[in-house]
A and B are shown apart, each in its own frame.
Chain A
């Protein structure tokens, strides 16, 4: 389920889980399930930070057009 979420959605869900857990009032099974989901989301968001990395490319307009129109 978390695979299909965007980073933003995952982050929102994670924050929601944390504050729900902090409020309490859930039974043990729910609490443990929320903890597991939260941990998975956290790992996923943290992984995404590393995936953002890439280089900076500077292209003039002709180069840029050639790049996107190549092999079309």
Chain B
């Protein structure tokens, strides 16, 4: 194009050429709204406009941020910062200077620089002893769970679903924050500040809620850059400041994040946090039923044993009042022996006495008398007649002999003359 101008109309005025260049670059999409990355090698502010140079090992270009573009510029950007800009190439014909007009500028932290910052933070925290603090135990039965995580995130819906399965209607407050990007750390810190308030009994009481007794802070998995907020000091400090246990629940499998190191519990994913925190209600109820049964069974067993023991004791006491059981048993044995012996002696005596009585009785028996030749007289009624005065003339009496009896009539009665 320029060659054509030269040959047909002679030399082209430089200003005209500069305008041609300007038109060319401004009409080529390649040079407009292009994302570019480089290191800031100079940084000058003049009349509110920022003039800087972006460079890398292979080249450099001038850049400008016009005051009237009203860009928000990260105050950390300075000479040496790695930045990404969205810019359009322009040429100001008056000065013939090719420069990039910046529409957006953001600092870039390389992963290396980020890792270094994380390493330093961990070192600082370790030196403070913050990593050796004892963990606060999770409540067995959380009364009010606070969750700081991304709005409408898969992590949140996973947690909600799992909670509903395990313990329907567990009291929960979700505080939705940005979990990635440049505002993430600040929002997570603010979210955690809210949980600290909710953990205060006075604040909770005013809201008519039980105080928050455990906090889950986290998000689903992502690239290391996506998760980086959880490696930043403000987030770590906010977790450490929690008066109640905090579960760091960021979905990732690589190295621990700083939030994992300072939290009381590290869960591998948000779902894992729920599994570790929220008990399964029907299992808890079953456990209580079991305890109830064991309690009753143990007492029942004890009581049965006691009743048996008691009846045994009662028995022993009956036999041995106010004495040691062993001695009582011994005494009892001795007594028994003595009793037995005295009883035997007594029995022997009785036997002899009985034998003597028997002999006397035998000797006195009327039969024995009859055997010796005597006769016994009896009246009609069997009464023994022992005196003649009992007899009447003509009376029939019975005479008993040893070998039989006979009837006799009375002919005469002769009483003896009583000398007295």
Contact of A8 with B by CB under 8 A: yes
Q: Return the CB mask of A1-45 against B: 1 if under 8 Å, else 0.
A: 000000110010011011001101010100110010011001001
Contact B298 A8 (CB under 8 A): no
Q: Which residues of A contact B160 (CB under 8 A)?
A: 56
Given contacts A48-B141, A52-B141, contact A59 B173 (CB under 8 A): yes
Interface of A is mostly: helix
Q: Which residues of A contact B167 (CB under 8 A)?
A: 52
Q: Which residues of A contact B193 (CB under 8 A)?
A: 65
Q: Are B171 and A55 in contact, with the CB atoms below 8 A?
A: yes
| A64: contacting residue among B144, B170, B194, B301, CB under 8 A | B194
Using CB atoms, name the residue of chain A closest to B168. Answer: A53
If A59-B173, A61-B175 touch, whether A52 touches B302 (CB-CB below 8 Å) is no
**Known interface pairs A7-B141, A18-B298, A24-B302; A68-B194 also in contact (CB < 8 Å):** yes
- Which A residues are in CB contact (< 8 Å) with B67? none
Chain B residues with Cβ below 8 Å from A46 are 285, 288
Question: Which among A11, A51, A61, A69 has the greatest number of chain B C-beta atoms within 10 A?
Answer: A61
Tally of chain B residues near chain A (CB < 8 A) = 46
Closest to A68 in B: B197
Segment at the A interface, from B6-14, B203-211, B239-247, B334-342: B203-211
Q: In the complex the two chains form, is B170's CB within 8 Å of A60's CB?
A: no
**Would A35 and B295 count as touching, CB distance under 8 A?**
yes
**Residues on A with beta carbons closer than 8 Å to the beta carbon of B302:** 21, 24, 26, 28, 31
Q: Is the CB of A67 within 8 A of B207?
A: yes
A15 touches B295 (CB 8 A): no
A66, closest chain B residue (CB): B194
With A and B bound together, what is the CA distance between A65 and B198 in angstroms? 10
Q: Is B363 an interface residue (CB 8 A)?
A: no
B180-224: which residues lie under 8 A (CB-CB) from chain A?
187, 190-191, 193-194, 197-198, 203, 206-207, 209-210
Which of chain A's residues has its CB closest to B139's CB?
A8
A71, B206: Cβ atoms under 8 Å? yes
Which B residues between 114 and 153 are near A, CB-CB below 8 angstroms?
Answer: 139-144, 151
Whether B171 and A59, one on each chain, are in contact in the complex, defined by CB atoms closer than 8 angstroms, is no
Q: Complex formed: what's the CA distance from A69 to B207 in Å? A: 11
User: B176 at interface (Cβ–Cβ under 8 A)?
Assistant: yes
A18 to B177, CA, bound (A): 46
Q: Is the CB of A69 within 8 A of B299?
A: no
Q: Is the CB of A61 within 8 A of B174?
A: no
Given contacts A7-B140, A18-B294, A58-B176, whether A68 and B299 have CB atoms under 8 Å apart is: no
Q: Does B347 contact A (CB under 8 A)?
A: no
Asked if A49 and B174 make an inter-chain contact with CB atoms under 8 angstroms apart, the answer reads no
Interchain CB contact under 8 A, B173 and A42: no
List chain A residues, Cβ under 8 A from B140: 7-8, 11
Question: B203 contacts which chain A residues (CB < 8 A)?
Answer: 68
The smallest C-beta distance from B299 to any residue of chain A, in angstroms, reads 4
Residues of B252-303 at the interface with A, using a CB-CB cut-off of 8 Å, are 281, 284-285, 288, 291-292, 294-295, 298-299, 301-303
- Give the Cβ gap from B31 to chain A, nearest Cβ, in Å: 40
Tell me, in angstroms, the Cα distance from A28 to B299 when the chains sit together. 10
Is the Cβ of A61 less than 8 Å from the Cβ of B285? no
Q: Is the CB of B305 closer than 8 A to any CB of chain A?
A: yes
A70 to B: closest C-beta gap in Å: 8
**B306 contacts A28, C-beta separation under 8 Å:** yes
Chain B residue numbers with a CB within 8 Å of A70 are: 206
User: What is the minimal beta-carbon distance from B401 to any residue of chain A, in angstroms?
Assistant: 84
Closest to B207 in A: A67
Q: Does B172 touch A at the CB level, under 8 Å?
A: yes
Q: Taking A17-B295, A56-B163 as given, write out 8 further A-B residue pairs in contact, using a Cβ cutoff of 8 Å, ordered by the A residue number.
A: A22-B298, A42-B292, A45-B288, A52-B141, A54-B144, A61-B191, A65-B193, A69-B197
For the complex of A and B, 6 pairs with smallest distance between CB atoms:
A54-B171, A21-B298, A68-B197, A56-B172, A58-B174, A35-B299
Contact surface of B with A, Cβ cutoff 8 Å: 139-144, 151, 160, 163, 167, 169-177, 187, 190-191, 193-194, 197-198, 203, 206-207, 209-210, 281, 284-285, 288, 291-292, 294-295, 298-299, 301-303, 305-306
Q: Please, could you name 15 A-B residue pairs with CB atoms under 8 Å apart, sorted by A?
A: A8-B140, A11-B140, A15-B291, A21-B295, A21-B298, A28-B303, A31-B299, A49-B288, A52-B167, A56-B174, A61-B175, A64-B175, A68-B198, A69-B197, A70-B206
